[in-house]
Structure 1
């Protein structure tokens, strides 16, 4: 397994909370780290290939942007798991789709611009072959935990 260099650790620390919002964010990170954009990109690709980095992205306040969100738990026949997961993934607002152990074995989050669209999508998902049950787990209160790992 790849060992993290001091540069890799500094880069990962910056990425967790300080990804610049600009036309060349990796060039800006390079400036902050005393290097160039190409070096940052080479390191990011190596970190991803080694399994240290899964994705780079940002979080938006979906409610402030006018979206409603929910967590959905599905009970899916094992033989239909792949097809149901792929069907769910085709909805633009479906995120975090993952298989779990237990009765409710496929979970995903769904963001939609309104309750009517959410209900329509959930009806379609519920009707997919192999789906035996569904729980729509709407949040009553939002808790945002910002976990950051300070690599030294």
Structure 2
């Protein structure tokens, strides 16, 4: 999908500065010279094209009382899809991805109590037949703000 300049400006703006107003997309549009409907249509198109995967707030889950851990499992290659379906069936799973190596499925669990985290892990073990899930709770938090400046295109051929 080709992005025009307004798409690029919109993508930059929604990463950094969505105003907290009753009609944020109208305010975004006013800054970009677009109507609220045009902003919503562009965002819909960008979402449908998988350029935007998710839009939403970022909260400090610990300050909200949540407990979480990073987990790793050894999943046989022929069972990856089935195990992923089980793991992804929980709202409390915030990320799930494959990696190379013996421990090839990694996911994070975030729940309102340590007991709920453990219950989820026990249910995943029971449903998948995988008996070992390594848990790696954070001992020190490093948060990195990742935003992408999409103002300019950098083509492989060096143009743009």
State the TM-score, normalized to the length of structure 1. 0.87
1:1-152 equivalent positions in 2, closer than 5 A: 1-2=1-2, 4-131=3-130, 133-152=132-151
Aligned partners of 1:70 and 1:109 also within 8 Å: yes
Mark the CA change 1:64 to 1:34 in structure 2 (over 3 Å): closer, same or farther: same
Unaligned 5+ segments in structure 1 are: none
Aligned partners of 1:73 and 1:107 also within 8 Å: yes
- Separation in 1, partners of 2:96, 2:104: 11
The answer to which of 116-125 and 137-146 deviates more is: 116-125
State the Cα deviation string for residues 66-108 of structure 1 (Å, max 9, x = none).
Answer: 0011111111122322222111122221111222222112111
**How far 1:132 moved relative to its partner?**
5.1
**RMSD of aligned Cα (Å):** 1.9
State the TM-score, normalized to the length of structure 2. 0.83
Question: Alignment length, in residue pairs?
Answer: 151
- Separation in 1, partners of 2:32, 2:101: 45
User: What SS is found at the alignment partner of 1:103?
Assistant: coil
Q: 1 or 2, which has the higher strand percentage?
A: 1
- Separation in 2, partners of 1:87, 1:21: 36
